[in-house]
Structure 1
Amino acid sequence: MTTIRPILADNSTSISELKKNPMAVIEQADGFPVAVLNRNQPAFYCVPADAYEMLMDKLEDIELAQIIKEREHSEEIEISIDDL
Structure 2
Amino acid sequence: MLRKIHASLSVSISELKRNPQAVIDDAHGEAIALLNRNKPTAYIIPAETYEMLMEIAEDVELAGIIEQRRGEKADAIEVSLNEL
Q: Normalising by structure 1, report the TM-score.
A: 0.79
Query: Which string of whole-angstrom CA distances, capped at 9 and with x for unpartnered residues, describes residues 25-77 of structure 1?
Result: 11111112210111211011112211111111110011011111111132335
Identity of aligned residues (%): 51
Partner Cα distance (1:38, 1:28) in 2: 20
- Counterpart in the other structure of 1:15: 13
* 4+ aligned runs moved over 2 Å, structure 1: 73-78
* Structure of larger gyration radius: 2
Give unmatched runs, 5+ long, in structure 1.
79-84
Aligned CA RMSD, in angstroms, stands at 1.7
Q: How many residues were matched structurally?
A: 77
Give matches, 1:24-63, under 5 Å: 24-63=22-61
SS in 2 for 1:8: coil
Alpha-carbon contact 1:35-1:42 (below 8 Å) kept: yes
- Counterpart in the other structure of 1:70: 68
Equivalent of 2:3 in 2, 5, 14: 5
The AA in structure 1 aligned to 2:27 is: A
SS in 2 for 1:72: helix
Q: Normalising by structure 2, report the TM-score.
A: 0.79
Alpha-carbon contact 1:36-1:43 (below 8 Å) kept: yes
Partner Cα distance (2:32, 2:75) in 1: 48
